[in-house]
Amino acid sequence: MLPMVVRSLPYRGEHEYQPRMEFPWVRIRRLRRTPSLRRLSRSIRQHPDELVPNLRIPVEDPGRAAESLAERALDAGHHGLYLSPSVRRRDTEGSEAWRADSPLAQALYAARAAAPELAIFAELDLAVYHRTGRPALVSEGLVDAEAAHESIGKVGVTLGEAGADVLALRGQVDGGVGALREALDEAGLDRVGILSFSGDMYSPFTELRPRTAEKAADLLDPMDPGSVLRQAECDIADGADMLGIQPTFLALDLLRDLAEEHQHPLVARITEQEAKVLESAARSGLTSMSELAMVVHCSLIRAGARLVVTPWCFDETGSQIPSSDFEGPLG
């Protein structure tokens, strides 16, 4: 027989105590009874404040695409926008990266004019612009850090002048954060923050353009999580304002470790490859895309992410804005 739970009620005068016997006294399911009760009881919420829409800038008419997304994101209650670069032409120097008329720079000018209230993140990834897919010229298998530092500085100044509030530095060039901070300060752009992807890991879910085996030497090894923690310490010392992790499928434990070690805001970015996997699951009929995205977003926030850069945008009620309204996930 199951035991009875006895709870004594307050003293009532003529009776010493009025014992009340019930089982079970605690019924956790009471707060799951209705949708409103469930929403009010949640400690983790999927809210536009925590989600930053991501757009891969198209080469053709980048300003119009960025302007459209910026306006829609603002209308949906978001406070940030993350712009990822595309390239028209790759060369051995990656020279398009610092051109004031590059697709990313054009998108920044347009988004800033359309939605000045938004905090705009611009991804700084030199490898996108290099023909080899590496951040700079390579000698004996290693990237020329000095050449990369010069390029990082030039690109950072170009994007800062175009209107970026935060530069999201990828590539894991040693000393890259310090070189970027120095270049921005010398150009009078000390207002521009730095999001360093200290946890930019090499995996099948990592965005690589082009994808080459040598990229494993440039990015962090997901089988060596301690290297992410060491990289984060170096980046903070060099002036990083925020820390980033991608891909997110590999990152829940690292997000928790970084949240416990540091007070810097943590950003988890869902990569294009991860988005394709999740969208494939939704198309198969296993679940809806909005439900699947909610689970992914909330798991990252629970693990310690302050912000989630995502291809899926949600309004203030938590309802998904159809991807057709944004010309498809990630543009």
> CB neighbours (10 Å) of residue 79?
15
pLDDT in tens, 276-309: 888 888 889 888 888 888 889 999 999 999 999 9
* pLDDT, position 31: 85
* pLDDT, position 14: 55
CA atoms within 13 Å, Cβ hemisphere of 78? 30
**Lowest-confidence segment of 46-50, 156-160, 292-296 by average pLDDT:** 46-50
* pLDDT, position 109: 97
Query: Binning pLDDT at 50, 70 and 90, where does residue 186 land?
Result: very high
11 burial (CB, 10 Å; 0-12 / 13-18 / 19+) is: exposed
SS3 content of the chain, % helix, strand, coil (to 5): 40, 20, 40
* pLDDT, position 183: 97
Residue 145 has pLDDT above 90, yes or no: no
Query: Binning pLDDT at 50, 70 and 90, where does residue 319 land?
Result: low
* pLDDT, position 17: 55
Instruction: List alpha helices for the chain, DSSP H.
Output: 35-41, 62-75, 103-114, 145-162, 176-186, 225-238, 252-261, 272-283, 289-303
- The class (CATH top level) of 46-317 is alpha beta
pLDDT in tens, 93-133: 888 989 999 999 999 999 999 999 999 999 999 888 887 77
Domain boundaries, the chain: 46-317
Residue 77: alpha-carbon gap to chain centroid: 17
Which of 65, 41, 85, 47 has its CA nearest to residue 308? 47
Q: End-to-end distance of the chain based on CA atoms, in angstroms?
A: 62
